[in-house]
Structure 1
Amino acid sequence: MQATMKRFNAQVVNWTRMRDCYGDVDRVPALLEQVELDDDADAWKELGFRLLLEHDLVFPAGFAALSRLMRLASRSARARALAGSILRCGAGHHGCDDLLASCADEISGFRELLDRHLRSRPVDYLQAFRDSLAAMEEYHWSAVLGDFTDDFYHLACPHCAVEVTIAIGDYGRYSAIRDWNLGDVDRRDLRPAPSGELSGAGRWMYETAVRDGREALADGIAHLFGKAECPRCASVFDIAAEYTSANRPVLR
């Protein structure tokens, strides 16, 4: 029954309404058929250009193709990467929520595939990690998470409203007030979260990074989900909670 529903979902896409970034409605389904048959590199390149523009702008054809791309992902690295890139844009104002909802089963399967991929410790680990977060609807973390060599997060202190810079990288792990002439001033060391106190997305992120031997990523996540001291009023607050409150999209 589930397989029948998946085939049905793929068949009901009305491609005459699914324009790509060039305004065409017929080229994407033809390209999908081509890559399904022979994994042609040129076809994949054109498909990527038609579905996803720079700055993560996705057209309706991209979400219409998502279900088929995720089903191809088990045998095609190109399909996995393109599906992940489209899925990371799922929280935008794209008007395609019905298309996303129709491939919920495929998204669940895609998340399991990504987890197996992460366990293999691939060269594209961070991208797959971020794609996994998108599959969990943690779009705000998927959009900004880096490798913690040069990461900055900007948020308002919940007590005095001053803008606080959170730095997590090779240069230090601190909160500060950013002065565009002097740099980060009045630095205060961050307080990483004990692993046993993590929950939700933070726990998944940390435990997955530890499982896969990504020590620097796990350490950065512990600091990201830890606490910071405001340099202005000296209050202590939860970094991830404040960042999530300010940046997590409202899912429709």
Structure 2
Amino acid sequence: MRDALGEIGRVPEFLERVERADDPEAWRELEYRLCLEHDLVPPAGFAALPRLVPLAVSDRRARRLAGLIVRCSAGHHRCDALLAGTAAAIADFGGQLDRHLRTRPADYLDSFIDLLAVAGQYHWSAALGDFSDDFYPVDCPHCAVKVMIAIGDYGRYSAIRDWDHGDVDRRPLRPAFPAELTGTGRWMYDTAARDGQAALAEGIAHLHGRAECPRCAALFTVADEYAAANLPRL
């Protein structure tokens, strides 16, 4: 299996080193070789998952690296058959992440995003932030005008983005009530609320709420339009 440096046979050597003992140099090599620039995974990256996941139980570097690899699963890696063989390891990783989130760790958002990727929600794992400075561009489903959705400390609104004047003609978002949420939105909200992540849960409620188009005044669900435009075609 070629790694990101184009070499064959080196990754097992470094995996053996980190399995035996804490080895910062070996971890640095694995980070270079298994996930290129955080958006491209070579075959060795997917092949390494079954050995990385057991380490991720107690090692944050293994958890981070396994998460980066899973996030890239929807990319153009041409490793579909190899990835399919890691399904059990990825499922185990999802259970680990859920248990880790319940401890309310310092890396909560990163682990939450990794869990979204495990669940196949790659569009959210690629875009979700902490809702302090998040923007989601969508097209109005009624008039096709480009609408910018802002969810952050500066406001929660839909607007037309003008590169000279900023976001103009702002309309406040209408967050969903928790009882209205279904599917992925309900799972995202319930997980964040369960773990005491109030700001994240509130942002998710706005993301899965409704926006008013500044051009035609029609209402639409933000998450539906964003997902329709960005969900990978696997």
The offset of 1:27, in angstroms, is: 0.8
2:81 maps to 1:98? yes
What residue in structure 1 maps to residue 101 of structure 2?
Answer: 118
2:20 maps to 1:76? no
SS at match of 1:116: helix
Query: What is the alpha-carbon root mean square deviation over aligned residues?
Result: 0.9
Q: Tell me the amino acid that sits aligned with residue 201 of structure 1.
A: T
Q: Return the TM-score normalized by structure 1.
A: 0.91
The offset of 1:75, in angstroms, is: 2.6
Find 2:136's aligned residue among 123, 143, 153. Answer: 153
The offset of 1:39, in angstroms, is: 2.6
Q: Is 2:3–2:43's contact at 8 Å kept on the other side of the alignment?
A: yes
SS at match of 2:135: strand
2:207 maps to 1:235? no
Pairs within 5 Å for 1:187-206: 187-206=170-189
What residue in structure 2 maps to residue 209 of structure 1?
Answer: 192
What residue in structure 1 maps to residue 124 of structure 2?
Answer: 141
Separation in structure 2 between the aligned mates of residue 47 and residue 166 of structure 1, nearest angstrom: 38
What residue in structure 1 maps to residue 19 of structure 2?
Answer: 36
User: Runs of 4 or more off by more than 4 Å in structure 1?
Assistant: none
2:184 maps to 1:173? no
Q: Tell me the amino acid that sits aligned with residue 128 of structure 2.
A: L
Q: Tell me the amino acid that sits aligned with residue 86 of structure 1.
A: I
The offset of 1:103, in angstroms, is: 1.6
The offset of 1:44, in angstroms, is: 0.5
Q: Tell me the amino acid that sits aligned with residue 146 of structure 1.
A: G
Separation in structure 2 between the aligned mates of residue 29 and residue 55 of structure 1, nearest angstrom: 21
The offset of 1:97, in angstroms, is: 1.2
Which runs of 5 or more residues in structure 1 are unaligned? 1-17
The offset of 1:71, in angstroms, is: 2.2
Distance 1:221 1:74, change over 3 A: same
Find 1:246's aligned residue among 218, 229, 233. Answer: 229
The offset of 1:52, in angstroms, is: 1.1
The offset of 1:55, in angstroms, is: 4.5
Which runs of 5 or more residues in structure 2 are unaligned? none
Separation in structure 2 between the aligned mates of residue 77 and residue 183 of structure 1, nearest angstrom: 40
Q: Return the TM-score normalized by structure 2.
A: 0.98
Q: Is 2:46–2:86's contact at 8 Å kept on the other side of the alignment?
A: no
